[in-house]
């Protein structure tokens, strides 16, 4: 199910237009306020945490975690990264966002509507990173019946980027199981880059220990069609 849409050309143009440096916006309306906790922009990130460089996202490594890079079959680009740990999985993707405002409130509303339309249920709750969604996703059981699987959608607005995490497995319903993955999310560094991008454009990821994104297909990067219960081909690294 597609939970993100590409922004319009006018939105892309607005994002690319230089802003007057003398114009200020209230701290409450801008994600560019000085952060006190992560996830971090590359300009503000603590340097004392070892991380795996995956291009637009730098992930902290913790003992026992399994890193899965998700490859888009059509374009052969890296479309997402998942961290598996103790029976739980957190999928992470980073997106471009407008210069002056966050998009998580809007995205949350769209995700909730999409899940509800498909027969699931959603609660909008406070969490460690602000508002989040606790969803019961409709799935087909091996017997052909319709069941439900829990998933937590968390998000963080940064300066011209948005980071989304989706927790499934034990971490979706057990606070103790979620704690380690929440710590991983809090220590993620997002490298937005300086390129003009339309809001909600997927920021390019790369394989570990490679200097650039995976080769793109004939039409470049693909718009994400995200389903947290379906994974594409994976490259797995055990830490």
Angle among Cα 16, 21, 22 to the nearest 5 degrees reads 140
pLDDT digits (tens, 9 = 90+) for 99-157: 989 999 999 999 999 999 999 999 999 999 999 999 999 888 888 888 889 999 999 99
Residue 8's pLDDT band (boundaries 50, 70, 90)? very low
CATH of domain 36-211+233-238: 3.40.1000
pLDDT, the chain, mean: 79
Total-model pTM: 0.74
Whether the upstream peptide bond of residue 39 has omega within 30° of 0, thus cis, is: yes
Which tens digit of pLDDT belongs to each residue from 18-40?
A: 444 443 333 433 444 445 688 99
Q: Is 200 left (phi over 0), alpha (psi -120 to 50) or beta?
A: left
**Domain boundaries of the chain, sorted by first residue:** 36-211+233-238
Report which DSSP code applies to 171. G
For residue 23, count CB atoms less than 10 angstroms from its CB and return exposed for 0-12, middle for 13-18, buried for 19 or more.
exposed
pLDDT at residue number 123:
97
Buried b (16+ CB within 10 A) or exposed e, 182-212: bebbebbbbbbeeeebbbbbbbbbbbeeeee
4-8, 13-17, 110-114: range with highest mean pLDDT: 110-114
Among left, alpha and beta (phi > 0; psi -120 to 50; other), residue 220 is left
Separation of alpha carbons 201 and 38, rounded Å:
21
182-to-92, 107, 186 alpha-carbon distances in Å = 12, 20, 6
Using CA of residue 149, residue 177, residue 2, residue 99, what is the dihedral sign? positive
Confidence of residue 208 (pLDDT cuts 50, 70, 90): confident
pLDDT band with cut points at 50, 70 and 90 for residue 212? very low
């Amino acid at each position: 199910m597609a939970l993100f849409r590409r922004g319009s050309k006018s939105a892309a143009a607005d994002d690319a237009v230089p802003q007057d440096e003398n114009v200020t916006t209230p701290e409450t309306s801008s994600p560019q306020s000085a952060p006190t906790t992560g996830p971090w922009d590359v300009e503000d990130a603590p340097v004392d945490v070892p991380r795996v460089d995956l291009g637009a996202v730098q992930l902290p490594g913790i003992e026992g975690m399994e890193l899965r890079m998700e490859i888009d079959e059509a374009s052969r680009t890296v479309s997402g990264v998942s961290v598996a740990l103790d029976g739980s999985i957190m999928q992470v993707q980073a997106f471009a966002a407008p210069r002056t405002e966050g998009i998580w409130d809007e995205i949350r509303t769209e995700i909730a509507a999409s899940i509800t339309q498909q027969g699931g249920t959603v609660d909008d709750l406070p969490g460690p990173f602000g508002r989040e969604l606790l969803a019961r996703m409709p799935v087909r059981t091996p017997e052909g019946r319709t069941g439900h699987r829990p998933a937590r959608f968390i998000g963080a607005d940064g300066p011209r980027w948005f980071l989304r995490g989706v927790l499934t497995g034990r971490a979706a319903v057990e606070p103790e199981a979620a704690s380690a993955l929440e710590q991983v999310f809090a220590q993620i560094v997002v490298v937005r880059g300086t390129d003009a991008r339309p809001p909600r454009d997927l920021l390019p990821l790369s394989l570990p220990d490679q200097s650039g994104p995976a080769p793109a297909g004939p039409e470049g990067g693909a718009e994400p069609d995200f389903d947290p219960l379906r994974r594409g081909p994976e490259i797995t690294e055990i830490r």
